[in-house]
A and B are shown apart, each in its own frame.
Chain A
């Protein structure tokens, strides 16, 4: 299916707002929370790009599974590696 142009403009606007938000938050001192917020916003932005620009929202379940598998395996790599570093004595 062809995604209406309107949706692309809206998503781009949302990405722009989130981008400005990222910078704005960075200029507020929040200690360790700065990075958590920045990453959360980045994840939201990436999800928007994947869902709309990359059409996953309009594709079959298979595309959805492929896209999530990449993300899931990334999490495995991070979590099990950090399981080591976070528990060193």
Chain B
């Protein structure tokens, strides 16, 4: 494609350079975001492939297509690919990378080289993991619980442990970059309470990445040491302590749930207020709720260990603290609903995904309360109820939010509009497919079907067949966007600077944006989301602004 026929008179970030080197050595946060988009989409389909295999095997009560060992490897690698290599980097590394600088009026992140480096780290970590997937797999579960992972498994967990360790540093570096950028590079006038909620969410996520990830990193180092030397740290047979591994692991991995869900909440806030044409209800409550979730999220990790041998008194404390997290989460759901109430809702694709998020996240959150209660958790732990619960949070919540964001910002990122009809259709079948897949699993879990088994008693078959049928619809719902989004790239860049009439700073730039985002540093004079009253006073470049007032 040449630029000759383009209406633009200047090169956007996509045209600013050609060739492999201009991408692989780029320091432009927008190009790095695109690189991340490609990498995580790759891992999403890898993880998806494993999910397909799992659901196929579970169509019948007996083992059909895989052995027990292979099944263990499939669910392990499904979890590792999806959690570490898709969900955790998804919104921060793609949408955050692209839009955090643009939404605060900066030319780039604070440390562009570090940003590129973290993409390379991601891929190195990914290669280690892929190596294992290709050469025999790993069957420890994505949680790598010791002593099984360190002393007993016949598969080799070390390359994956190394891979996830490296990936952790990629995540930490992204977090550091965002923290510094949001603190130090906001445009003049952009005070904390004028920040879009997506920025608040990215900030809170970065706090978790910076404070939580190093602890799981050292836990993995110790695990690798035990595995390689046979010297006890976690294995009780070797005088170690397996509960210690769980503490260190969940100190990160519970907050990691918020690394996945908080950015989605940020996206949903942007989308809801834009398409309801109303200011966000209770802006400050939303900002504080985001920060509250990030902090409280660090105090509840023991709810993963109620039946592990953890002290019952610690269990009580962790249970009570877990209930507290429900408060800021509920504030958010309430405020989105209040924002939508009496809004002039424009039913475009992004808000359909946002609706999906709000509904499914609410179900996921409420069922979480069953699991945070000690007594019900004893019954429900390690059943499909847990599987359904966290898929409602992670797929129904995080992935829906990610897709809402992709559809909301796609015209900005590429300059092209996708086919609205197909997009709405696939949002709809995603919602249907998702619920058909995972709602039966709540019932299965309640009936007592344990997770992580490849065979089950015949009375569970009907619901399992429903789930598998839903999964095939869900799979289709992921493939269709791939097709129409890629297809849209064949069209000319005619989306326009601000197709949704949004108020954010990112929409004051051309689509796709220029390499350095802004010709002049914008000045911000008002709160975000001024959607009422018909007029949309965008932030204007300093010079125009002064001209208008003088």
Q: Which residue numbers of A lie inside 8 Å of B, CB to CB?
A: 62, 69-70, 73, 76-77, 80-81, 83-89
Contact = CB atoms under 8 A, between A and B. Distances in A.
Interface in B306-340: 310-314, 317-318
A77 B211 CA distance: 10
Contacts of A73: 211, 298
B183 A89 contact: no
Nearest to A66: B179
Considering the complex of A and B, which 6 residue pairs feature the smallest CB-CB distances, nearest first?
A84-B314, A87-B313, A87-B311, A88-B311, A83-B314, A81-B247
A76 to B, nearest CB: 6
A62 B305 CA distance: 36
B311 A77 contact: no
A66 to B, nearest CB: 8
Contacts of B299: 76, 80
Interface in B202-243: 207, 211, 215, 243
B183 A84 contact: no
Given A62-B183, A80-B299, A83-B317, A69 B247 contact: no
Contacts of B98: none
B251 interface: yes
A84 B313 CA distance: 7
B183 A76 contact: no
Looking at chain A's contact residues, the main secondary structure is helix
Contacts of B314: 80, 83-84, 87
A85 B311 contact: yes
Contacts of A83: 311, 313-314, 317
Nearest to A84: B314
A89 to B, nearest CB: 7
24 contacts: A69-B207, A69-B211, A70-B211, A73-B211, A73-B298, A77-B215, A77-B251, A80-B299, A80-B314, A80-B318, A81-B244, A81-B247, A83-B311, A83-B317, A84-B243, A84-B247, A84-B302, A84-B305, A84-B310, A84-B311, A84-B314, A86-B311, A87-B313, A88-B311
A83 B247 CA distance: 11
